[in-house]
Amino acid sequence: MRSAKPHWREYLIEAICLATFMVSAAVFATLIYHPASPFAAWHATETVKRIPMGLAMGMTAAALIYSPLGRRSGAHMNPAVTLTFFRLGKMARVDAVGYVLAQFVGGTAGIELAEALLRGSLADPAVNFVATTPGPWGSGVAFAAEAFISFLMMTMVLAVSNAPRFARFTGLAAGCLVAMYIVFETPLSGMSMNPARTLGSNVLAAAQSTLWIYFIAPPFGMLLAGEAYVRRHGHARVRCATLHHRHLRCIFRCSQSETT
């Protein structure tokens, strides 16, 4: 079992990864939706407009997972992912706390940095700080949708990352799900799946009243997926807390083969 000492470098990497994700989200949302963007005259349905956004964010997520930084930290980038791996016994408590705090700091810093770089463009109502808010069907539907997509994401992560033949495709599968969720699920909840991704954006957009949805539903869905997985396969089947485990020093309670 690994030492319970803090792993500060990995915490910093988690913050950097999520900050990068938020800057990417802000830049692409501004390019696609801002009235002053050259793409603003692109006449298409809202669903079609979400396709380039979904592709951009899916590729961003996959790139971060497979990057040297993502490989070093495990590329959680989401408190719900971290809490699930902690619940499954793959992380020390100090690392779980460190990761969650770093993710919130990184997500908030990322959207603040994007606001500074984009010089106020994020405040335009068409972009709205890339906040995640419930759709026209209300908070109940948004909560259910967030819990459902989070459940599916963690189910995929556990199934694929723990299958030796397919583990290397976990990041690609995660990116594909992110893209699909943005295209098809956004009208229901705004597509967060991540409390740390939502906090800074919603505070800047003055949309704090619905933060409870994005703080509760994603962890609930992912923890439920983790519980379902170990009830079916057992705790021993969960090999590590990484999304891409390839020949690097691992800080987790890991049984992953270095040759996988």
Angle between helix axes 93-118 and 79-87 (nearest 10 degrees) is 170
Count: domains in the chain = 1
What the block records as the tokens of 180 is: 């699909």
Burial-class residue 155 by CB neighbours within 10 Å (0-12, 13-18, 19+): middle
Domain contains 225: yes
Which CATH number fits the domain that encloses residue 157? 1.20.1080.10
- Residue ranges making up the domain that contains 153: 8-237
d(CA 195, CA 124): 23
d(CA 71, CA 74): 5
CB 70 within 8 A of CB 64: yes
Domain contains 40: yes
User: Around 135, how many Cα atoms within 13 Å sit in the side-chain half-sphere?
Assistant: 16
Domain contains 251: no
Domain contains 256: no
Domain contains 260: no
Q: What is the pLDDT of residue 45?
A: 81
CB 107 within 8 A of CB 113: no
Whole-prediction pTM: 0.94
User: Which spans in 5-164 are helix H?
Assistant: 8-33, 46-66, 68-73, 79-87, 93-118, 139-161
Domain contains 186: yes
Q: What is the pLDDT of residue 248?
A: 63
Cα first-last separation, the chain: 20
CA distances from 59 to 7, 25, 161, 235 (A): 28, 11, 18, 31
Domain contains 249: no
Q: What is the pLDDT of residue 260?
A: 37
Contacts of 96 (CB under 8 A, 6+ apart): 82, 83, 85, 86
Q: What is the pLDDT along the chain (260 residues), one digit of tens a residue?
A: 445 789 999 999 999 999 999 999 999 999 999 999 888 777 678 888 899 999 999 999 999 999 999 999 999 999 999 999 999 999 999 999 999 999 999 999 999 999 999 988 999 999 999 999 999 999 999 999 999 999 999 999 999 999 989 999 999 999 999 999 999 999 999 999 999 999 999 999 999 999 999 999 999 999 999 999 999 999 889 999 998 876 567 889 887 754 33
Q: What is the pLDDT of residue 258?
A: 42
State pLDDT tens for residues 147-202.
999 999 999 999 999 998 999 999 999 999 999 999 999 999 999 999 999 999 99
Cα-Cα-Cα-Cα dihedral sign, residues 240, 5, 72, 64 = positive
Domain contains 195: yes
